[in-house]
Chain A
Amino acid sequence: MLIIFYIAAAVAVIATVLVITQHNLVHALLYLVVSFLAVAMAFYVLGAPFIAALEVIIYAGAIVVLMIFVIMMLNLRQESVAQEKKWLNARIVIGPVILTLVLAAELLYMLSTETSVHLTGEVIGAKAVGMSLYGHYVIGVELSGILLMAGIVGAYHLGRQKKKVTHRFLEKQEE
């Protein structure tokens, strides 16, 4: 099982790097889907099938679809790909890469010295997830609910249209 986890993790990392380096936005989002699927696989191997399913349903199935939806509306074509190519040159990458290497070195050091995390093989089902969400973490769930509500109200406010009246007399009375 451990080898499956490492393969899934490697796929996730490679796909995520490709998300950043792709010039075409839709291709980048496709790699993002692959990355989410790989993370779901890793969750499944670690004994959290419920979270794995939610990862696919919510992230890969809904959120990325919404992103692609927005990008389709923007109708980006060859010009944007060329612009992206111009922006994404090698010099920009140097800074993040050095910082990431520092983090990676730290991680390797930790892994080599600390006792490694044990895979218990214990399966965490839907019930356990629900109990912890509505028991221990209930404040977090409610706060994120309020945040989403604010987002929906804001979107409704921005998207609301005034009723247009095209009648020659009534037109003047409106506003």
Chain B
Amino acid sequence: MDDATIDQLLIIGGVLGGLLLVAPGLIWLERRMLALWQDRYGPNRAGPFGLLVVLADTLKLFFKEDWTPPFADRFVFTIAPGIVVITVLMSFIVVPFAPGVIVSDLNIGLLFFLANSSLGAYSIILGGWASNNKYSLLGSMRGAAQMISYEVFMGLAMMGVVLLAGSFSMHTIVEAQKDMWFVIPQFLGFVIFFIAGIAETHRLPFDIPEAESELIAGFHSEYSGMKFGIFFVGEYLGIILISSVTVALYFGGWLGPDFMPPLVWFILKTFAFICFFILLRASLPRPRYDQLMEYGWKILLPLTLLNLMVTAGIVLLNKGI
């Protein structure tokens, strides 16, 4: 094997290993942060700062009975949790962590990300349907409608960035932000993208498919043991994904002053967004289902179209002169 191949394998291994290590760590981080914002202690007994609670949780999930309900559709029930993790990990292929540190710089990078996030919806839909339980079915129907609608705004909001950078490749998009981060000319696009990202990962305040208080965990009511654990890890991987894509598209990716290496800048910015996700969970109540849909189609859609049109007009004017 030549050096390039080994480098490539190292990048793949590093990204995969890093993500799978960080995702459970986020569970601890989230509990501690939530506790901080709500004036509690959070997990602080097992190990330093309660860090070992992650290990204890994982062990507990492994030893729990992995029960498949007799009334469930066995095959679909089993593959549903895997889909979310696979699609999210596939999306990380096109995320540029630093110059050269990217698994594959596809020239349709952003579309690849969109395609994978739309396939991720199957996890919720199939999980809820296969459980054969009315609450799960309600949850997965809400999830399907929510994810399909918000995907539209997500894609349209991204197109502003694509227009400015002139490419779908994430690497080129980050390079194009050398002079100015896209969050300044595309502030509206950023806000809409981020809202749609929260809805795509079905995190609070948009966790309508699971809504513990009304649907008793919605689409994963019937899941236990490691199958539930995989849904859980998939959710945290989704948070990392949306945060890192936001950073790459709107906050200059790895770009930053020279005193720290590019990778550190990228990780720091992504971390800030992950904390913002947790802050949202700590502070906002959940909207009603019809409010969510109305908000999407009546407010976000016209705004994204307006944003796209104005951006396209300005780009066209600048090119013409």
Contacts and interface: CB of A to CB of B under 8 A. Distances in A.
Interface stretch (B114-122, B228-236, B274-282): B114-122
The dominant DSSP class at the B interface is helix
A53 B111 contact: yes
B148 A50 contact: no
B154 to A, nearest CB: 11
B76 A65 contact: no
Contacts of B141: 69, 72-73
Contacts of B59: none
B76 A61 contact: no
A62 B148 contact: yes
Interface string B143-168: 01101100100010000000000001
Nearest to A66: B148
Contacts, number: 71
B84 interface: no
A61 B125 contact: no
Contact of A56 (B76, B119, B128, B155): B119
A57 B111 contact: yes
Contacts of A27: 75-76
Nearest to B79: A30
Given A53-B112, A72-B129, A72-B137, A65 B121 contact: yes
B170 to A, nearest CB: 14
A61 B126 CA distance: 13
Nearest to A127: B166
B108 A61 contact: no
A53 to B, nearest CB: 4
B76 A69 contact: no
8 contacts: A27-B76, A49-B108, A53-B108, A57-B111, A62-B118, A69-B125, A72-B125, A126-B108
The 9 closest A-B pairs by CB, nearest first: A61-B118, A53-B111, A56-B115, A49-B108, A53-B108, A57-B115, A69-B144, A57-B114, A53-B115
